[in-house]
Structure 1
Amino acid sequence: MDANHEILKRNVSGEIRKLGKYASESVEELVNFGTHMFSWLMELEVDEADPTINLLFRNYLDVVDSISLLLKVGSGDTAIILLRSAFEIAMSILYILQEKTEERGLAYQLAHFKYIQKQNKKLDKGSDQYASFLDILKKDINARNIIEKIEIKDRKPVIDAIEQIIKQQINEEWLRIEQLKKSSGTKIEWFHLFDGPRNLKGLCEKLEHHALFDILYASWSLTSHGKASMNAHMPGGGIKRLRSPHDIKSIMTWTMNLTIEVYYKTLKNRIPNKTNNFGIWYHSVRSNYMDITDNNKKLLNRL
């Protein structure tokens, strides 16, 4: 059999099974506690910021749960893509909780509704954007033959409903930022509002995660954007096989680090009466956490 073909087989070796099972179970335990936290958050009296925090927290759990499934079969490269997503969600949660929680929570909601509003206007036959959108479709080799089959529904009721959702005082802040950025053509991000950071890097620096952004996030982004193909080259000239244990240790470590920080700061800010529950839970999983992060542990040190 051709050697390269052998390298690329989806062969789940004993090493991957053992390490993948260990990794998956460790991350699953994070998700299990997170589901309890989500229930506690949903029981709180709702204020303006809660829908944002709760939905971000749910999204974070969903991504981490998916990481656990990929680790189980050794799909490290794909898990890195999700780890990057988890990082961005985690930074959003931590930034909202840091200060000005209501304003920042509303800013996140507003950015979402602005995006939905923009997409709906493209599909509204009465809008200026509709004609431009059709021109774009006609130029697309995959879309131009199906334009006539696309069912365009009346989007105006949706657009009007979104207008009602957007709070006036927050919308004024959005319009202020929009004017400031008009000359540069810079896309508005939700964290720009209320004198926020200029970009994600600035947001991470505000949260004291300078190195995490500059070193790890930059590396994860290469994988997410399809620019890490050359990383499959291994020392000696080989090619990393599919379902490889190569990155599992790093993925487990950073998934746990991020999750523990998100859990602790969410509990401390939103449900401080449950911090004792966190302490008891953390003590129960600490041995697993140390197994993952301690370089002297034989199980993982081989990687």
Structure 2
Amino acid sequence: MTSKTNAGRFFEDYRLGETIRHAVPRTLSGGERALYHALYPARGALYSSDAFARSVGLPASPLDDLIVFHTVFGKTVPDISLNAVANLGYAEGRWLAPVYPGASLTAASEVIGVKQNSNGKSGVVWVRTTGTDETGRAVLDYVRWVMVRKRDTDAPAPETVIPELADAVAPERLVVPDGLDFSSYDFALAGEPHRWGDYEIGETIDHVDGVTVEEAEHMMATRLWQNTAKVHFDAGAREDGRRLIYGGHVISMARALSFNGLANAQAILALNGGAHANPCYAGTTLRAWSEVLDKAETGAPGVGALRLRLVATTGDAFVLRGADGRYLPEVLLDIDYWAAVPV
């Protein structure tokens, strides 16, 4: 009997410097937008209205930044994280161009680091992933690192290479969408009056609202993004018999909740870093809070950038780590990103 099926890559299958082209291009449409806004309480004006988008210099409403992220991420799963133990973090992510309905996205990843764990049963793989549209234009790139099981525990450990990654994307490397102009920004339509200058470094914002994650919506989301990671689908993939909620689902939920207090943080420009601090399961009620980490000017008219920490938690706001420096068990997500805000 011959087998034509693919069991996915294991740690020993990765080679430093190789580029992996990911299968199945995806043409995005208004359907993805409708489903995204059904799954998450997303209310950003830029992503809800063509008329609003035109009023700030864009030809139409682009697809939500995280639709693009989830689509590109989903392409990588069969080759990068099908046999993952955990997705560990992100760095150096940049949204390079807006994506509109009708675009077809593909993805490729370069292996930039490998390190076998001391137990000899798994290792960490670092990849830089780039998403491109049908014209070959890059629309997104980011680094992530994943802990992946070994197929053969006796396979020799590769030479350890850990990439040097920036703590944050430098403001001068932020890409503001061509034409974006917040000079005539309509704060009433956007939902809040708060400008870039109203936020202070060190300020914290409790986003107040909460939402309970349901099994059905999580499963719908992972199918929507064609994310085939076993731990999200197969209840037998983990010893506890529980399906993990896709970490991107938590990111989108927290980002949507942050509207209350950050309604004018319209476009995500960069993902500086991030950690899925603890697992999330169906039935969990998420809340979110933010901290302003930095501010920067941009070259676009009326557009400033805020560097924000976004935390998803099941506990109290503004509580992150214990005395030992570790994330508290109620903290599910801690991400650091730049957003475009009207000045």
Answer yes or no: same fold by TM over 0.5.
no
Question: Could you say which structure has the larger radius of gyration?
Answer: 1
Bigger RCO of structures 1 and 2 (CA < 8 A, at least 6 apart) = 1
**TM-score for both structures, normalised by structure 2:** 0.23
* Structure 1 length-normalised TM: 0.25
